[in-house]
Structure 1
Amino acid sequence: MSYAVPTTKKLIFDFIASRDTVSKGELLQVFDVTSSSLTRLLDEMTTEGILEASGFGSSTGGRKPILYRVNPIHRYIIGFEISRIGSSIFVYDLQLNQIAHVRWKMDATMTPDVLIHHAANQIESILQQHHIAPSQVIGVGIGAVGPLDQTDGVILNPLHFPADGWKDVAICEQLTAQTGIPSFLENGANTALIGEHWALRGEQIKHMLYVHAGVGLRSAMMSDGQIVRGAFDLEGSFGQMIIQTDGTRLQEGSNYGALEAYASIPALEKQVRTQVKLGRDTSLHPYAPEDIHFDIILSALADGDRLVTDLFHQTGAYLGIGLANLINVLHPERVIVGGPFMNADHSVYDTVIQVTRKNIYYAPDYQPTFSMGILKEDAVATGAAVMVRKAWDCE
């Protein structure tokens, strides 16, 4: 989505929104504006209901300063995640407190038309339940699997969706037509990173990397607090990193020897099916190989199946190599890793991070911090809502 040149009023709103409460004195230290002009702006924003007084700060000798904060019920924002395995709708107030949410699985019936209709119904139901008029909603931020055309709000041609029809879907136009609420589209990995960065706002982190390991491999990078973008949507490009010359490939059109052929859920499923066909010792023999999917493999992992455990850790080691390659190029301060593969078991996460650390070039002088994030499965929708609030002109 595009951003207009911010006004002083917008800059003040964003500054206050990034903190719990702010005094006029703190704002004067940050913004090049006279005391009288700032008083006028704060009064105007309070009268409009954008801000509200929130008690008094500590006194340094004179009167205690008034503290200002964003008025949470002035407006509302919706975050909408669209992924291959599941999708979700979250409704937030203007302070990004969660009002309500709903999740559902993506299956072979969830075509674009069905999804958009279902999402519109869920939005209508939540707004009615909480007595929120559509006119009070700033917008719907959509974090989706790509590749995307963000400018026109179109999901182009994503792979691995269980339902048909996911090509050139004008998701923003269609959702807005059904809800009457403006919609904005962004890469789901980017919104996840935006969400996790917002959750860590008190730490003032400028350089972050987000990697999602699931049906596909997705990544997003933030430098100096801004999302790094290329000339084309970067969704899925991390999975095309070549880690083995003349290696196998996962699907037609992919690179040979690409990371996704060794470190994704489809790659893991393929490995397990192959080993079952070869007669390896495993609890999965009651299943026909073609019927073995990730949920079944997860259950076997939880039961301690040795073959499945070994294949999970082998896949994790490959992912660690790819992650180290990315870190050696980008050098982030904080690395967030998530997705169904990473969440399968903490030992899988440990394997990925151990292999990554061993292959960071500038170690031990350079050591990024790793985590599975604060928001985890809520990160995409939350980041999509943060994106909408950031773009709101508050005029």
Structure 2
Amino acid sequence: MIARSQTSIRKDVYQRILELGTVSKAELMQEFALTSSSMTRLLDDLTAQEIIRVSGLGSSTGGRKPILFQTNPTYRYLLGLEISRIYSTLALYDMHLNLLASTRWKMDAGMTPENLVERAGAEAEQFLAEHELKSERLLGIGVGSVGPLDQEQGVIRQPEFFAAPGWNEVPICELLENRLGIPARLDNGSNTALLGENWALRGRSAQHLLYVHAGIGLRAAMMSEGRLIRGAADAEGAVGQMIIATDGPRFEGRGNHGAWEAFVSVRALEHRVRNQLKIGRPSVLTGRHPDDITFADLTEALEADDALVKEQFTEAAAYLGIGLANLINVLHPDNVVLGGPLIEAHPLVYETAVATALKNIARGRQYSPVFSLAELKENAVAAGAAFMLVQEWAVQDLPLSARSI
């Protein structure tokens, strides 16, 4: 049984109901050291505050059917914001991560921090107006951003490859709180995407979950027993510096020679295809200036089964699988979720990466990780950032009744 102090028991029970989806009093009694009358008072109290609600009756082998409880998804609402190098996404959710509204905009040369905050504020006000909600109903805004970050201070430190100026040392949480008048919380995008995907996988026994995102760069995050694994510093993109081949290239003159992202990233793929076109390799892209070729052009060529582009995607996917195998051999997740523009570009990428990883991991009799594509796709970062607020609120801020347990 789980023993907790009176001041935290309500929060723990709420969190458990949230995790289980629907649950009876008897099921909660098996996990918490409370008397039957105390548990009844607690559930009645949370129901009266509309924090949880009765969701129906369970099955019974005899006697009265048990009442089932679930958390109330409309007790409050959440904003989730993704800040990436290519685009940003703002979305409105209820507390079960049901998507109510979303919008996306390009991170072009004019999208400075000040302009982004103003855009997010204006879009949030539009969301509230469309759903006839007051700002008081918002629990806050969660932000998933490229790093490096100072999560505790809510600051984006020195991110690379932003088109607009001014993105060094940005107190993004302070700016958003001043504009929106609600709490703001920050984490790196791979961690928030992992939170979102973990929610999507609830009920599927994902105890040790690895999330890998392949896009402009490579990002990864790991969760064990429901907890994010964090290091001494926010180094979200550092996984891309894992050395795959000691005699490999040093991409764009940066980082390690033979680093993972030198083989597996949108920028690396664009670079390799452009070089192949410059030496005269035939392709449906022939005739265009190589330096004008973008990732969108590559995905179209791949759909057209262009031999050159297919070759390059297959090579990138194989190297993706090698890096995955390295991570899996160290971390031993039971579930591996893959997302990001490169992985989502074509089934070839996912299938090749998984097949390569499976060939190179140390699998015992009882260990074989389950691979899956990210379910939330382009919304994973924003959804997980929003859910971060629910987790924090459930642990810290759940209202307590004056009645004693």
- Normalization by structure 1: what TM-score? 0.95
Q: Cα offset for 1:306?
A: 0.9
Q: Does 1:328 align with 2:329?
A: yes
Answer whether contact 1:50 1:71 (CA < 8 A) is retained.
yes
2-structure distance, mates of 1:167, 1:90: 25
Task: Determine if the alignment matches structure 1 residue 356 to structure 2 residue 360.
Answer: no
After superposition, the C-alpha distances for 1:26-71 in whole angstroms (9 at most, x for unaligned) are: 1111111111211221121112121222232234433332222222
Misfit runs of 4+, over 6 Å:
none
Structure 1 letter corresponding to 2:276: Q
Deviations 1:238-294 (A, max 9, x none): 100011224321234411221111111111111111111111111222221221121
Q: Distance in 2 between matches of 1:254 and 1:364?
A: 38
Deviation, 1:363, is: 5.7
SS in 1 for 2:20: coil
Q: CA deviation at 1:209?
A: 0.6
2:37 maps to 1:36: yes
Partner of 1:120: 121
SS at match of 2:277: helix
Deviation (angstroms), 1:388: 0.7
Aligned-pair distance for 1:81? 1.3
Q: Aligned partner of 1:306: which letter?
A: A
Equivalence for 2:204: 203
Query: Which SS does the other structure have where 1:220 is aligned?
Result: strand
Work out whether residues 160 and 215 of structure 1, in 8 Å CA contact, stay in contact via their aligned partners in 2.
no
Partners in 1 of 2:231 and 2:61 — Cα distance? 49
The equivalences for 1:92-111 within 5 A come to 92-111=93-112
Residue matched to 2:238: 237
- 1:150 corresponds in structure 2 to 151
SS at match of 1:7: helix
Write the distance in 2 (CA, Å) between the matches of 1:380 and 1:57. Answer: 35
Alignment partners' CA distance in 2, 1:292 and 1:140:
36
**Preserved CA contact (<8 Å) 1:90 1:101:** yes
Local SS of the residue matching 1:30: coil
Q: Return the offset for 1:187.
A: 1.1
1:197 Cα offset (Å): 1.0
AA aligned opposite 1:112? P
In the TM superposition, what is the alpha-carbon distance from 1:112 to its structure 2 partner? Answer: 1.4
Q: Which residue in 2 is equivalent to 1:217?
A: 218
Give the AA of the match of 2:210: L
Structure 2 CA distance for aligned equivalents of residues 218 and 299 of structure 1: 25
Give the aligned partner of residue 394 of structure 1: 398
- Residue type of the alignment partner of 1:40: R
Partner Cα separation in structure 1 for residue 73 and residue 283 of structure 2: 54
What amino acid sits opposite 1:325 in the alignment? N
Contact kept? 2:78, 2:94, Cα under 8 Å: yes
- Residue pair 1:84, 1:106 contacting (<8 A) in 2 also: yes
Amino acid at match of 1:72: P
CA distance in 2, matches of 1:60, 1:256: 65
CA distance in 2 between counterparts of 1:131 and 1:102 reads 18
Contact conserved, 1:157 with 1:167, CA < 8 A, in 2? yes
* 210-219 vs 100-109, greater mean Cα deviation: 100-109
Could you report, residue by residue, the CA deviation over 1:299-352 in whole angstroms, capped at 9, with x for unpaired residues? 211222111110111111111111111111111101111111111110121111
Alignment of structure 1 residues 156-171 onto 2, 5 Å:
156-171=157-172
Q: Distance in 1 between matches of 2:333 and 2:290?
A: 40
Aligned residues: CA RMSD: 1.6
**What residue ranges of structure 2 are gaps of 5+ in the alignment?**
400-405
Counterpart secondary structure, 1:191: helix
Distance 2:251 2:204 in 1: 39
- Contact 2:95/2:387, CA 8 A, preserved across alignment: no
* Distance across 1 between alignment mates of 2:247 and 2:355: 27
| Deviation (angstroms), 1:86 | 2.0
Cα separation, 2, equivalents of 1:96 and 1:305:
39
Instruction: Give the direction of change, closer, same or farther, for the CA distance of 1:373–1:364 in structure 2 (3 Å limit).
Output: farther
Aligned-pair identity in percent equals: 52
- AA in 1 matched with 2:110: T
Q: Which residue number in structure 2 is paired with residue 58 of structure 1?
A: 59
Where do 1:1-395 residues align within 5 Å?
7-362=8-363, 366-392=367-393, 393-395=397-399
Give the residue type in structure 2 aligned to 1:394: L
SS in 1 for 2:206: coil
Q: Distance in 2 between matches of 1:329 and 1:383?
A: 25
SS of the residue corresponding to residue 344 of structure 2 reads coil
Aligned AA (2:139): I
CA distance in 2, matches of 1:319, 1:94: 35
Distance 1:322 1:122 in 2: 39
Secondary structure (helix, strand or coil) at the match of 1:251 reads helix
Q: 1:237 to 1:364 in 2, by over 3 A?
A: farther
Alignment partners' CA distance in 2, 1:126 and 1:11: 31
SS at match of 1:242: coil
Structure 1 residues 272, 364: CA separation in 2 closer, same or farther (over 3 Å shift)?
farther
Report the Cα distance in structure 2 between the residues aligned to 1:364 and 1:271, rounded to whole angstroms: 40
Task: Work out the CA distance in 1 between the residues paired with 2:222 and 2:349.
Answer: 23
CA distance in 2, matches of 1:340, 1:194: 19
- AA aligned opposite 1:254: G
